[in-house]
Amino acid sequence: MLPVDNAEPDTDLSILAVDSGQTAIRVRSRHPRFFEHSFPGAITSRSLLPQLADAVVAASRLAQRPFPLVTIGTTGLTDLDNDPERLLALCREAGTEQVRLAHDSITSYLAALGLQPGVVVAAGTGVVTLGVGVSGTQRVDGWGYLLGDAGSGYWLGRSALTHALRGYDGRGPATALTQVLIDAFPHPEDAYIELQTDPDKVRRIAGFARAVADLAPTDQVAESICREAGEELALSACAAADRVGLGADPRVCLIGGVFEAGAVRAATESALRRRLPGVRMVAPLGEGIDGAEELARVRPDHPLAGSVAIARSYGSRHLFRVQPPLRDYAWGSRTYIPELLGRQPDGRPQAELWLGAHPSAPGTIDGVGLHELLAGRPELAGGDLPFLMKVLAAGRPLSLQVHPSRDQAAVGYDREDAAGIALGDPRRNYADRQHKPEMILAITPFVALCGFRSPAEAADDLAELIGEQTGVGGELLRALRDPDEATALRRSVELLLSGRPEVRALAARLVAAAQQHPGRYADTVRRAGDYGDDPGLLAMALLNRVDLAPGQALHLDAGNIHAYLSGLGIEAMAPSDNVLRGGLTPKHVDVEGLLEIVNFTTMDPALVPASTSESEGVRLDSYRPELPEFSVHRLSALGGPRELDLTGPAMLIVTEGALLLEAGDERLTLQRGDSAFHAAGAPLRVRATDAPAVAYLTTLGAPPSEQE
- Give the whole-angstrom CA distance, residue 244 versus residue 118: 9
Query: What's phi and psi for 548, nearest 5 deg?
Result: -85, 135
3-class state of residue 616 by DSSP: coil
Ramachandran assignment for 673, one of left (phi > 0), alpha (psi -120 to 50 degrees), beta (any other): left
Please name the amino acid found at residue 328: D
Strands (E), 468-605: 543-548, 553-556, 562-573, 580-583
Please name the amino acid found at residue 641: P
For residue 266, give the nearest of 238, 227, 228, 217 by alpha carbon: 227
Taking the C-alpha atoms of 702, 704, 705 and 708 in order, what is their torsion angle to the nearest 10 degrees? Answer: 70
What DSSP letter does each residue of 27-41 carry, written as one string? EEE-SSS-EEEEEEP
- Give the whole-angstrom CA distance, residue 610 versus residue 632: 10
Ramachandran assignment for 255, one of left (phi > 0), alpha (psi -120 to 50 degrees), beta (any other): beta
3-class state of residue 537 by DSSP: helix
- Give the whole-angstrom CA distance, residue 11 versus residue 672: 16
Please name the amino acid found at residue 21: G
For residue 393, give the nearest of 442, 435, 451 by alpha carbon: 442
Active-site option among 265, 453, 527, 581: 581
702 CB-contact burial (10 Å; exposed 0-12 / middle 13-18 / buried 19+): middle
In contact, 439 and 609? CB cutoff 8 Å: no
In contact, 88 and 98? CB cutoff 8 Å: yes
Strands 127-132 and 137-140: antiparallel
3-class SS letters over 128-167: EEEEECCCCEEEECCCHHHHCCCCCHHHHHHHHHHHHHHH
Residues in the chain: 708
Which runs of consecutive H residues, i.e. helices, occur in 377-516?
Answer: 406-418, 455-466, 471-480, 485-496, 501-514
Continuous segment of H or E residues that includes residue 104? helix 104-113
In contact, 429 and 450? CB cutoff 8 Å: no
What DSSP letter does each residue of 290-309 carry, written as one string? HHHHHGGG--TTSGGGGG-E
Q: Active site includes 265?
A: no
Ramachandran assignment for 640, one of left (phi > 0), alpha (psi -120 to 50 degrees), beta (any other): left
- Give the whole-angstrom CA distance, residue 230 versus residue 96: 42
- Give the whole-angstrom CA distance, residue 311 versus residue 52: 15
For residue 599, give the nearest of 552, 646, 542 by alpha carbon: 542
705 CB-contact burial (10 Å; exposed 0-12 / middle 13-18 / buried 19+): exposed
- Give the whole-angstrom CA distance, residue 30 versus residue 285: 18
- Give the whole-angstrom CA distance, residue 247 versus residue 264: 25
In contact, 342 and 672? CB cutoff 8 Å: yes
> Is the dihedral angle over the CA atoms 74, 75, 76, 77 positive or is it negative?
positive
Cis peptide before 641 (omega within 30 of 0): yes
Q: Which residues does the annotation mark as catalytic?
A: 581
